[in-house]
Amino acid sequence: MSATAGGGHTSVRKNTKTISITSGKGGVGKTTLISNLALALAGQGHRVLVLDGDLGMANVDVMFGLRVTRTLESVLAGECALREIVVEVTPNVFLIPGGSGVYGLQNLTVHQKKMLLDEVSELNDRYDFMLIDTASGIDDNVLYLNSAAQETLVVVTGEPASLTDAYALIKVLNKKLNEQKFSIVANMVQDESEALSIYRRLSDVASRFLCVSLDYKGFIPSDVNLRLATKAQQLVVRSQPRAPSSLAIQMLTEKIGRSNSFAGLKGGMQFFWEQIVGVA
């Protein structure tokens, strides 16, 4: 597969919409969701760039049946350019393998920051969406990734710990970084009724104690097809496109593709990287 950043694509495109996919606790299906979302967006004709920013579980490449050898760490070590690690994992889906390199971006020298941002500018306008897979929790690096994105999509399940930790993440982002708008996706639920119940519980407590707005984006049902596909390191929207989870992911993708409610709040890809390296 191609390891070039743009696949030869040179025409001008609209500004890249940046979306972080995050969660308060691990084990909520975040990476599985982001990989399927990327594939579904590509299926709608969008060009998608995924940044694998989950240090402990950096495995987006595995979901696409690959194993990368070079990551952002290689770029920061001066071994290669950013464009050389961008891998086209499937048609119109490109991956920046982050690894622990994501966590070294704040410690770059001024010269290194300028070089990296110059390289990022080469990627600008080549993609419709940039999806950022963050680690779970409220570590500073997770907070930075979320606050730099135009839209923060919080994945939550019906487990009490998932709800509690999702609220904690939203609270810290609001209090520490003044983030006020969040999108919510309920995962591994029985149906939309359960999803809306989860959303309302989270929204009620957030509106009572915080100055934030939570937007219900959708839900992914608990589906044996999704579990089996993930276990086999496959993407359910490809292997079982008519499965309940696949149809729900397609609906979520359509909502994301249509939504411009967050786009005007922050800049696109260049803004994201400037925030991450700490020059903006």
Whether the Cβ atoms of residue 131 and residue 37 lie closer than 8 Å to each other: yes
User: Across all residues in the chain, what is the average pLDDT?
Assistant: 87
Q: pLDDT tens digits, residue range 63-78? A: 888 888 888 888 888 8
Domain edges within the chain: 17-151+223-255
Statement: residue 7 has pLDDT above 60: no
For residue 2, name the pLDDT band (cuts at 50, 70, 90). very low
| Cα–Cα dist 169/246, whole Å | 28
| Cα–Cα dist 148/78, whole Å | 25
Residue 18 per-residue DSSP state:
E
Whether the Cβ atoms of residue 221 and residue 245 lie closer than 8 Å to each other: yes
Q: pLDDT tens digits, residue range 193-250? A: 999 999 999 999 999 999 999 999 999 999 999 999 988 989 999 999 999 999 999 9
Q: What is the mean pLDDT of residues 129-149?
A: 89
CB atoms within 10 A of CB 73: 17
Statement: residue 1 has pLDDT above 50: no
Statement: residue 280 has pLDDT above 60: no
Q: Following CA atoms 254, 200, 152, 132 in sequence, which dihedral angle do they give, to the nearest 10 degrees?
A: -70
Higher-confidence residue of 51 and 260: namely 51
Q: What is the mean pLDDT of residues 252-273?
A: 78
Q: pLDDT tens digits, residue range 154-192? A: 999 999 999 999 999 999 999 999 999 999 999 999 999
DSSP letters, 128-175, are SEEEEEEPSS--HHHHHHHHHSSEEEEEE-SSHHHHHHHHHHHHHHHH
Q: Following CA atoms 78, 34, 165, 185 in sequence, which dihedral angle do they give, to the nearest 10 degrees?
A: 150
pLDDT at residue number 262: 56
What CATH architecture does domain 17-151+223-255 belong to? 3-Layer(aba) Sandwich (3.40)
pLDDT at residue number 3: 41
- If we measure between CA atoms, which residue out of 146, 142, 209 comes closest to residue 19? 146
In Å, what is the CA distance from 9 to each residue of 5, 157, 190, 195, 258?
A: 9, 39, 42, 40, 23
Q: What is the mean pLDDT of residues 250-279?
A: 80
pLDDT at residue number 122: 80
Q: pLDDT tens digits, residue range 81-98? A: 888 999 999 999 999 988
| pTM of the shown model | 0.90
